[in-house]
Amino acid sequence: MKNLFKYKNLMGKKIKNICCIGAGYVGGPTMAVIAYKCPHLNVNVIDISEERIKSWNNKNADEIPIYEPGLSELIKKCRGKNLFFSNDIKKHIAEADMIFISVNTPTKTKGIGAGKASDLKWVESSARQIAMHANGFTIVVEKSTLPVKTAEVIKSILDAAQENYQNKSNSGKFSVLSNPEFLSEGTAINDLINPDRVLIGGEDEDSIEALSQIYNNWVPKEKILKTNIWSSELAKLTSNAFLAQRISSINSISALCEATGADIREVSRAIGSDSRIGSKFLESGPGFGGSCFKKDILNLVYLSEYFGLPEVASFWNEVVKINTWHQHRIAELITKKLFGTLSAKKIAILGFSFKSNTNDTRESAAIQICKDLMDEGAFLCIHDPKVSKGQIAKDLNCEPKNNNLESITIQEKAYSGVWQSAIDIKTALKNADAAVILTEWEEYSQINWYQLANTMRSPAWVFDSRSIINRKNVVDAGLNFWRVGDGVT
């Protein structure tokens, strides 16, 4: 089917109008950068959520729904000029020359492949919307992280549309491309402006070239890799799986370091100096999180099982199992250090997002660790500079105690599931039996332990799962200290 629809012949014009279905963590930042780098293009981001679109259109660009360094500045420069956010799905699909599908693809919770396969209901819904409303020749671009052969699903829906809507005078013709994102939240804008590579997979060379020309406005041609569509889809899953595997590997070694007296930072530096290995993703922490790593690995597991490769499936499944084990291990270690019980003890949780410089909590290690601590009877006081109280409540599946911290009784503190948010670090640490650093926010690395140690309940502990605290500063302040992968007792 190669070159079935010729870009030049069918369109007769260059790409002018771009539409992105999905105003989330990928769609919003990606379209903001395209609008900024391509002022000659009209970029419309559409979503079914009126609340989300309203947030993107907030007059104060610093209060948009996604926190990402540099994003609000781009919104200020482009919104209302060539970047627009709208709920008018029909209108903007009809006007678009190129449509990006950037919707959520969560792991299925029931049915075939439950717990491993991706739920593609929003992708299918987007394809059907495109089939119904698109005019003329339209290039459809997969931007969401999708399992291999998803493009086939999209193409089937779009091809069928040509028959279902053949009586429509504006019946569309379509070309499907895969253009996966390789963003790291917290540095997404820089990743988009200075990418390691841009991957475009497809069968229609003219459509591939049309998308390449957009990226050529700021990305060197040698960084644009062109593949077939299946290789593009699999490359995205594999990239995330390899990164997650490195995190699980180094975290497993951190446990061995603690048992043997070694220091994971020294081990990481030594192996990272090997040019064959490299130093990236060798920092031990509380475990990987975010929207993609776990989901993409489980997708690989499902695909491997589906294609009769149980050994491959088992290998990748262990990466996820080690990650979960490591989170449980940290919660268990905290309990043991605090005399084997957390009942009626206050634990200050510093950081709830899955990493710094983002308000994204999806699959954050903090969620499982906090649940484990509450199951032990702990009273948690949670602080995060960007994550809202409502989001924490949603992730923990329980509402916070709204009364004054000091008025909460011992019985309430001992009840499993009690937590409260703290407006600042000082409030979180007051009368706390321990502080647990779960996100590497810079402000946590600058805490003055000499000033705050006396406000905690002795003998108090500091648990540093991110290796951002100076041991000497904590110990000299009279506090006990544990750091992930540190064999020093």
- Give the integer Cα–Cα distance in Å for 200 and 229: 8
Q: Which amino acid is at 230?
A: W
- Give the integer Cα–Cα distance in Å for 17 and 43: 6
- Give the integer Cα–Cα distance in Å for 120 and 157: 13
Cβ proximity of 446 and 437 under 8 Å: no
- Give the integer Cα–Cα distance in Å for 444 and 464: 10
Residue 199 class from Cβ within 10 Å (0-12 exposed, 13-18 middle, 19+ buried)?
buried
Cβ proximity of 148 and 118 under 8 Å: no
Residue 58 class from Cβ within 10 Å (0-12 exposed, 13-18 middle, 19+ buried)?
middle
Catalytic residue status for 292: yes
Beta bridge partners of 483: 464
- Give the integer Cα–Cα distance in Å for 99 and 25: 17
- Give the integer Cα–Cα distance in Å for 316 and 325: 15
Cβ proximity of 320 and 297 under 8 Å: yes
Give the rounded distance of the alpha carbon of 361 from its chain centre. 8
Point out the catalytic residue in the list 19, 78, 292, 381: 292
- Give the integer Cα–Cα distance in Å for 223 and 206: 18
- Residue 234 in tokens: 């699999």
- Give the integer Cα–Cα distance in Å for 321 and 318: 5
Residue whose C-alpha is closest to residue 305's, from 109, 114, 106: 114
Backbone angles phi, psi at 43, to 5 degrees: -120, 120
- Give the integer Cα–Cα distance in Å for 317 and 302: 10
- Residue 92 in tokens: 């903007």
Residue 144 class from Cβ within 10 Å (0-12 exposed, 13-18 middle, 19+ buried)?
buried
Q: Which residues contact 407 (CB under 8 A, 6 or more apart)?
A: none
Active site residues: 292
